[in-house]
Amino acid sequence: MKTVTCTAPVNIAVIKYWGKRDEKLILPLNDSISFTLSQDEMCAKTTVSISPKFSEDQFWLNDKKESLENPRIQNCLKEIRRRASKRKFDGKDENVWSWHVHICSKNNFPTAAGLASSAAGYACLVYALGQVYGVEGDLSPVARQGSGSACRSVHGGLVRWHKGEDDDGADSVARPIAPPGHFPDLQVIICVVSAGQKKTGSTEGMRQTVASSSLMQHRIKVSLPSRIESMMKAIEEKDWPTFCDLTIADSNEMHAVCLDTSPPCVYMTDTSHAVASLIHKYNDLKTDQGDINHKVCYTFDAGPNACIFTPGAVAKEVLPLLLQAFPPPPAQTPKEYVKGIASQPAPLSKELKRLADGCAQSGKLQYLIHTKVGDGPRVLVDPASSLLNTTTGLPN
């Protein structure tokens, strides 16, 4: 029996993927760019075992036995086995691709919070399968067939998913464009907005947008080509203020095409808008003071949670600003309210306190996650980290 355990990160797009040109192969209408987040706070973990003695493929997700019939998982599995069957082995295990697999996966963050769990999950699954079946090379087009955004989670730092031109999707791949430390000491604050009713999922939402939104035509043909070029330049030149402006503009445009959809896809709530408004006021104040690098940006995926990117020095001010504007419910201690990197909130200036009080909404956020940007998937070598028993191949 061969067993491998891996972890893979969440990624947050700053130029959003929203809309497919091929539903089955998961080929996007546009290029997208993302930041991979640190695995210290959020990651998916997967153990895979293969053995000639297993009689069938089996799958456990978050401690529950699940069916493996899902076509997206099947496509990933088939493609890894196809690649493994083409591999030249030196005598041993040459039929390894035909061995059945046991897969056990867990997320260390709440799936219900809508925090890109499928991206981390599929990236982890494909990376672990690649390791156990001995498949080398670029696995991003395989992860893409699990969930589009998952292809960006196979790399760390800043990543670009090229939409590609080929009908078979061979050139629709994710490539790293800059390491995690490209913008030094970059931090991330995720504001988890209290869960409301379940929204339309990304797959269905983007399908409806492509079918019904005329604004989407403008996004694809006019705004995105120049925004992507400007974003690449801003990244290359480490131009943080421009990076922030473009990130905010793209998030707002994605939510605009969502609203232009029939029926409208409404993902942001009043609290989401209150967070966005606070960030704009903060940025305006700093610009008025002539400090343009003291800037933060927000972006929203297909849900109400804000993801805020901020340089470390600015986070010292932005975190207490958020705590002042969105104080925790009385029952919650500050430690329960702000998860992740431990930080001592600095006292707020009178000016910032006034700004926060103007947007105040007590108890509207469930909690904050304070994290960083980070690297790509990892193999865990410690046998104690395995989710499957290395003798039986069943969950521990």
* Binder of ligand DP6 out of 3, 30, 32, 47 (CB under 6 A): 32
Q: Work out whether 16 is an interface residue with ligand DP6 (CB under 6 A).
A: yes
Q: Cα(first)–Cα(last) distance of the chain, in Å?
A: 16
CB 76 within 8 A of CB 143: yes
Q: Work out whether 147 is an interface residue with ligand DP6 (CB under 6 A).
A: yes
| β 158-161/174-178 pair status | antiparallel
Residue type, 111: T
Nearer to ligand DP6, 18 or 99 (CB): 18
Written as one string, the DSSP assignment of 59-107 is EEETTEEE-S--HHHHHHHHHHHHHHHTPPPSSTTTTGGGSEEEEEEEE
Rg of the chain on CA atoms, in Å: 22
Nearer to ligand DP6, 12 or 338 (CB): 12
Task: Name the nearest CA neighbour of 225 among 253, 203, 244.
Answer: 253
Nearer to ligand DP6, 255 or 286 (CB): 255
Q: Work out whether 261 is an interface residue with ligand DP6 (CB under 6 A).
A: no
Nearer to ligand DP6, 26 or 321 (CB): 26
Judged by CB under 6 A, the stretch of 9-17, 239-247, 281-289, 357-365 that binds ligand DP6 is 9-17
3-state secondary structure of 315: helix
Shortest Cβ 351–ligand DP6 spacing (Å): 34
CB 148 within 8 A of CB 112: no
* Binder of ligand DP6 out of 148, 169, 320, 376 (CB under 6 A): 148
Q: Work out whether 13 is an interface residue with ligand DP6 (CB under 6 A).
A: yes
Nearest-angstrom CA–CA distance, 191 and 275: 8
* Binder of ligand DP6 out of 3, 4, 9, 17 (CB under 6 A): 17
Nearest-angstrom CA–CA distance, 263 and 242: 33
Residue whose Cβ sits closest to ligand DP6: 148
Q: Which residue has the tokens 């079946």?
A: 133
Nearer to ligand DP6, 96 or 115 (CB): 115
Count Cβ neighbours within 10 Å for each residue of 216-227 and write b for 16 or more, e otherwise: beebbeeebeeb
Q: Work out whether 200 is an interface residue with ligand DP6 (CB under 6 A).
A: no
Q: Work out whether 302 is an interface residue with ligand DP6 (CB under 6 A).
A: yes
Nearest-angstrom CA–CA distance, 4 and 136: 15
Judged by CB under 6 A, the stretch of 14-22, 41-49, 225-233, 332-340 that binds ligand DP6 is 14-22
Nearer to ligand DP6, 10 or 50 (CB): 10
Nearer to ligand DP6, 320 or 374 (CB): 374
Applying CB under 6 A, the site for ligand DP6 has a residue count of 14
Q: Work out whether 301 is an interface residue with ligand DP6 (CB under 6 A).
A: yes
Instruction: Tell me how far the alpha carbon of residue 163 is from its chain's centroid.
Output: 17
Phi, psi of 338 (to 5 degrees): -110, 105
Count of beta carbons in the 10 Å neighbourhood of residue 8 = 29
Q: Work out whether 202 is an interface residue with ligand DP6 (CB under 6 A).
A: yes
Nearer to ligand DP6, 17 or 282 (CB): 17
Q: Work out whether 39 is an interface residue with ligand DP6 (CB under 6 A).
A: no
| H-run or E-run covering 279 | helix 270-288
* Binder of ligand DP6 out of 51, 203, 212, 390 (CB under 6 A): 203
DSSP 8-state class, residue 388: B
Judged by CB under 6 A, the stretch of 132-140, 146-154, 183-191, 324-332 that binds ligand DP6 is 146-154
Nearest-angstrom CA–CA distance, 373 and 182: 10
Residue type, 212: S
Shortest Cβ 120–ligand DP6 spacing (Å): 11
**Site residues for ligand DP6 per CB under 6 A:** 13, 16-18, 26, 32, 118, 147-149, 202-203, 301-302
